[in-house]
Homo-oligomer: A and B are copies of this chain.
Amino acid sequence: MPASIGSPLANVDAACAPTFADVLAAAARLAGRAHVTPVLRSRTLDALGGATLHFKCENLQRAGAFKFRGAANAVNALTDAAAAHGVVTHSSGNHGAALALAARERGIPAHVVVPEGAIPAKLAAIQAYGATLHYCAPTMAAREEACARVQAATGATLVHPFADPLVIAGQGTAALELLAQAGPLDAVLTPIGGGGLVCGTALAVAARGDGARVLAAEPAGADEAYRSLQAGHRVTDGPRDTICDGLRGTIADINFAMLRAHGVGILRVDDAATRAAQALIAERLKLVVEPSSAIVLAAVLGDPARFAGMRLGLILSGGNVA
């Protein structure tokens, strides 16, 4: 059921939750800015999975991940007056780089709060796109506090990595393209970390997916979204034991509510299966992807009975590996 028609989103501020109209607005805003990424096929992987697999290659997106969609949507939705003060976020990974690139293209400052101990290659990418780095202790509280300090000092607009409605709507444009490129699908699979991608995907699929299901693959060692849905309330105390460095986040309230409203199913995947899927993607699709992307193929290969004969869309979320 689409979020735009109401009651299932009772727990979410109605003025805040994005709708399919926001996804369409994002698509218009991103035209000419983001790549329309290709959808690749492999008959060998189809045979292996016993299903028809359509891989949406967001690893080929600008800055190497779907994150550019949400970041560029948020940056380009700002008024000139707000934009002049710049944008700020906390992210040690793809969202930080994506926001830095989107801000540079609009010609405005970007501030990225990064926890000490973050991967140097990812920090270098953020700096290469011209953002100012602000270091903080590696806790969520320290990150949010540092963000607030930057906002107070500069007037920059916060662009949250996965809870911002404009970010969620922007991420939904990947599935919107996928549905147009691949034709009818039985299900669309995305990874889930903070939940921005899967929530945007749910909006697009509810409106244009003709009954397709939305499923999210989550590392078994960092399965807060799964446990949150089981518990019926948001769980935020889970372990973070996974090679999927993009999927260690905690979902926010808005993401939790949208997951429930759209009936998104969560599939837990062991890291070993994700590693094997990453190798298969390099060998058969000739693509470099992050473990956080390969997890969707691992989810399909790990449950062949469930997916037998289906037409599936798999969003390969990014390709930024060290």
| Chain A contacts to B: CB under 8 angstroms | 35, 38, 40-41, 43, 59-60, 62, 64, 282, 285-289, 319
Contacts and interface: CB of A to CB of B under 8 A. Distances in A.
Contacts of A41: 35
Contacts of A62: 43
Contacts of A282: 288
Most chain B CB atoms below 10 A, which of A59, A282, A287, A319: A287
Contacts of A40: 60
Nearest to A293: B286
A62 B44 CA distance: 10
A303 to B, nearest CB: 25
B286 A64 contact: yes
A252 B30 CA distance: 49
B38 A286 contact: no
Interface of chain A: mostly helix, strand, loop or mixed: mixed
A261 B62 CA distance: 40
Contacts of A64: 286
A59 B286 contact: yes
A286 B285 contact: no
14 contacts: A38-B38, A38-B60, A40-B60, A43-B62, A59-B286, A60-B285, A64-B286, A282-B288, A286-B287, A286-B288, A286-B289, A286-B319, A287-B287, A287-B288
A282 B290 CA distance: 12
> Closest 10 interchain pairs by CB?
A286-B319, A38-B38, A286-B288, A59-B286, A282-B288, A60-B286, A286-B287, A40-B60, A64-B286, A288-B288
A40 B60 CA distance: 8
A193 to B, nearest CB: 19
Contacts of A285: 60
A64 B289 CA distance: 17
Contacts of A38: 38, 60
Contacts of A289: 286
Contacts of A287: 286-288
Contacts of A286: 59-60, 64, 287-289, 319
**Could you say which of A60, A62, A64, A289 has the most chain B C-beta atoms within 10 Å of its C-beta?**
A60
A319 B42 CA distance: 14
A13 to B, nearest CB: 37
A140 to B, nearest CB: 30
A35 B41 CA distance: 9
Nearest to A40: B60
A43 B105 CA distance: 12
